[in-house]
């Protein structure tokens, strides 16, 4: 992906944003990037759990966003890449951050007060299905095949097995909060599609600009509601916030935009299922949580679903 000092990238032979590599040949590096993205974002749950014990949600999200933005801006400065100053670019950054982070994260954080974690994981894992429906019925910006839909359903089934079948029994008891989580996942799905409009910009520039906006917009509520100067976060919470800002937010968001440009919307969404077993493993290692009884079978379904969503149809002669 060629770069320029203006923060823009040069698209090659593309008829629409995001179709450059998504419709072309893929190699192992593309899938390695997808796996790396899943690893970055799967750390969100255990790190957030460590940080939120002593840092309120609004302050936590604002702090991690600002830390991530500062980290990326420092790298951009060292690389000599300038951040766009035109209103059009920042309007795109702001919109993307609102629908991909600020709005859904706040909604899910609120809903988790009423919905068990296992139910939240299942509901949040519907993002690939919503992305498929929006792509198939509305935008049609890339092929939405039955193979990809089958993969999304298999991945959701594997997720349910991993978090436990008991997660299905509690649905409906907190219907308002559960619907709110679904709205958040729809917002995530829309963000993966809207993000294609940012393919002209360096992924690091998009991530830095988006995170800066996200951190700044939540700063006033943090100061007014949480009064951060009165908080007494533990060293563990501070370290977790910094690590999450750099790994999950900065590197994760940058990889997200790289994957969108190289793999397209539907394939990039497949990382959502990869995050489940990786996140479970991190929770076992970092938090001492127990290994789910159906992990092996759930993992098989997840991997089958991810394969169906990521392997190009022409390789399986299913065009």
pLDDT in tens, 180-231: 888 998 998 899 888 888 888 899 999 999 999 999 999 999 999 999 999 9
Ramachandran category for residue 255: left, alpha or beta (phi over 0 → left; psi -120 to 50 → alpha): alpha
- Cα separation of 65 and 49, whole Å? 17
Lowest mean pLDDT among 35-44, 251-260, 281-290, 301-310: 281-290
Tokens of 208: 């830095």
- Is the distance from CB of 99 to CB of 187 less than 8 angstroms? yes
Q: What is residue 232's predicted lDDT score, i.e. its pLDDT?
A: 93
Q: What is residue 318's predicted lDDT score, i.e. its pLDDT?
A: 44
Q: What is the 3-state secondary structure (H, E, C) of 208-247?
A: HHHHHHHHHHHHHHHHHHHCHHHCCCCHHHHHHHHHHHHH
Q: What is residue 302's predicted lDDT score, i.e. its pLDDT?
A: 80
Residue scoring higher pLDDT (121 or 195) = 195
pLDDT band at 313; cut points 50, 70, 90: low
Mean pLDDT of the chain: 80
Q: What is residue 314's predicted lDDT score, i.e. its pLDDT?
A: 52
- Cα separation of 167 and 112, whole Å? 14
Ramachandran category for residue 18: left, alpha or beta (phi over 0 → left; psi -120 to 50 → alpha): left
Over range 118-134, report the average pLDDT.
Answer: 78
pLDDT band at 4; cut points 50, 70, 90: very low
- Is the distance from CB of 202 to CB of 72 less than 8 angstroms? no
Lowest mean pLDDT among 24-38, 86-100, 157-171: 157-171
pLDDT in tens, 228-272: 999 999 999 999 999 999 998 999 999 999 988 888 888 888 887
- Cα separation of 162 and 302, whole Å? 9
Which residue, among 281, 279, 270, has the nearest Cα to 309 in the 3D structure? 270
- Cα separation of 211 and 72, whole Å? 9
- Is the distance from CB of 196 to CB of 260 less than 8 angstroms? yes
- Cα separation of 167 and 49, whole Å? 19
N- to C-terminal Cα separation, the chain:
28
Burial class (CB in 10 A: 0-12, 13-18, 19+), 190: buried
User: Helix, strand, coil: what percent of the chain each, to 5?
Assistant: 75, 0, 25
pLDDT in tens, 272-294: 777 777 777 776 777 676 666 67
- Is the distance from CB of 273 to CB of 125 less than 8 angstroms? yes
- Cα separation of 32 and 232, whole Å? 39
pLDDT in tens, 68-82: 999 999 999 999 988
Over range 17-34, report the average pLDDT.
Answer: 62
Residue 301 reports pLDDT greater than 60:
yes
- Cα separation of 180 and 254, whole Å? 27
Q: What is residue 179's predicted lDDT score, i.e. its pLDDT?
A: 86
């Amino acid at each position: 992906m060629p770069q320029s000092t203006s923060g823009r990238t040069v698209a090659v032979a593309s008829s629409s944003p995001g179709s450059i590599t998504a419709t072309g040949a893929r190699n192992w590096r593309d899938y390695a990037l997808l796996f790396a993205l899943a690893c970055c974002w799967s750390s969100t749950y255990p790190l957030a759990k460590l940080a939120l014990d002593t840092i309120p949600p609004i302050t936590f999200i604002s702090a991690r966003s600002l830390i991530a933005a500062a980290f990326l801006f420092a790298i951009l400065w060292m690389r000599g890449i300038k951040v766009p100053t035109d209103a059009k670019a920042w309007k795109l950054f702001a919109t993307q951050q609102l629908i991909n982070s600020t709005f859904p994260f706040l909604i899910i954080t609120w809903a988790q007060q009423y919905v068990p974690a296992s139910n939240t994981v299942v509901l949040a894992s519907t993002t690939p299905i919503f992305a498929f429906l929006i792509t198939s019925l509305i935008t049609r910006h890339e092929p939405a095949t039955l193979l990809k839909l089958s993969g999304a359903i298999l991945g959701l089934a594997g997720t349910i097995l991993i978090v436990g079948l008991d997660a299905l029994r509690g649905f409906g008891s907190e219907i308002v909060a559960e619907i709110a989580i679904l709205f958040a996942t729809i917002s995530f799905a829309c963000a993966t599609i809207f993000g294609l409009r940012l393919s002209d910009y360096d992924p690091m520039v998009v991530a830095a600009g988006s995170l800066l906006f996200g951190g700044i917009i939540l700063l006033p509520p943090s100061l007014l509601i949480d009064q951060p100067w009165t908080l007494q976060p533990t060293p563990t919470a501070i370290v977790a916030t910094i690590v999450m800002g750099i790994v999950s937010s900065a590197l994760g968001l940058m990889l997200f935009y790289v994957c969108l440009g190289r793999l397209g919307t539907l394939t990039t969404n497949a990382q959502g299922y990869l995050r489940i077993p990786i996140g479970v493993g991190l929770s076992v290692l970092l938090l001492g949580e127990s290994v789910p009884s159906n992990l092996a079978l759930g993992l098989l379904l997840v991997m089958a679903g991810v394969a169906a969503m990521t392997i190009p149809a022409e390789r399986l002669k299913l065009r």
